Amino acid sequence: MAEFTVKDIQALRQETGAGMMDAKRALTESDGDFDAARKWLREHGLAKAAGRTDRDSSEGVVAIAVAGSTAGLVELKCETDFVAKSDSFAPFADELAEALANGGDDALAAFEDRVDDLKVRLKENISIGRTARLEAADGAIIGTYVHRQDGRGVNAVAVALSGGTDELAHDIAVHIAFTKPTAVTRDDVPAEEVAAERAALEDITRAEGKPEAAMGKIVDGRLSGWFAERVVLEQKYVKDEKQTIAKLLDAAGAELVAFAQIVVGS
């Protein structure tokens, strides 16, 4: 016969987040062994959680950590903003980002059990989503920015500059957060995407009845506008649209080496 007290049940509930009847049953099934009861709850909770893996998990938080000249960005996904704003969720994302910055993707494997525990305790489809690790050369400046809504990070950016200042790196990160570029230079945009866009623009221009002799110039102009939406160096600086990011960097004697961005739910 299992021997345990009400205090044992309360302690198990507090540690695992289980309901009173579940905690009592776990202790009963485990003959009062607290560790075995915890394992029983986890195994049975994960069995239930398996049925939630196909549920939408477009909510969550993003976090950034910097270790030396390396930045780690992590998205921790869940189903509802209620869970995303809970006390334990964002701090866990911070831990994941720190582990990624320090140890790379392999370091995240050590957190699988804790992710499973969150699934059980919070009763949602929870997972580690997108990750990015920005490694810069020694001496480079790492700048970060996290845009927050209701106290949680929803849009995280890290940039690496050669030259410049910490303030400039932060300002570039803020710019990227709001413009969401996909490349540093035109050469970074996949060639197949450029070819597809050029072909589409040629079709549109012909359909408008533009003269064939002017076709190349018109398409090039429109393609430049398309690049400006995607290439950060060609974008107008959000704080001063009279200059591009390229001109801003040139004036500071700095170069944007790379950037990474993760936006919740995108």
pLDDT in the model for residue 17: 62
pLDDT in the model for residue 54: 58
Please state, in angstroms and rounded to a whole number, the distance separating the CA atoms of residues 250 and 239: 16
Place of tokens 């560790």: 35
Q: Strand order in 59-67's β-sheet?
A: 59-67, 70-78, 127-135
pLDDT in the model for residue 47: 44
Please state, in angstroms and rounded to a whole number, the distance separating the CA atoms of residues 100 and 95: 9
pLDDT average, residue stretch 97-116: 91
Predicted confidence (pLDDT) per residue in 239-264, tens digit: 999 999 999 999 999 999 999 999 99
Please state, in angstroms and rounded to a whole number, the distance separating the CA atoms of residues 219 and 211: 12
Task: Estimate the share of the chain in helix, then strand, then coil, as percent rounded to the nearest 5.
Answer: 55, 25, 25
pTM of the model: 0.79
Distances (CA, A) of 43 to 37, 50, 120, 192, 220: 10, 11, 9, 47, 60
Q: What are phi and psi of 239, to 5 degrees?
A: -90, -10
Predicted confidence (pLDDT) per residue in 159-213, tens digit: 999 999 999 999 999 999 999 999 999 999 999 999 999 999 999 998 888 888 8
Predicted confidence (pLDDT) per residue in 52-79, tens digit: 555 666 899 999 999 999 999 999 999 8
pLDDT in the model for residue 56: 61
pLDDT in the model for residue 212: 86
Q: What is the mean pLDDT of the chain?
A: 88
- In this prediction, residue 5 has a pLDDT band, given cuts at 50, 70 and 90, of confident
Residue among 45, 44, 41, 73 at smallest CA distance from 60? 73
How many percent of the chain have pLDDT more than 70?
92
pLDDT in the model for residue 26: 81
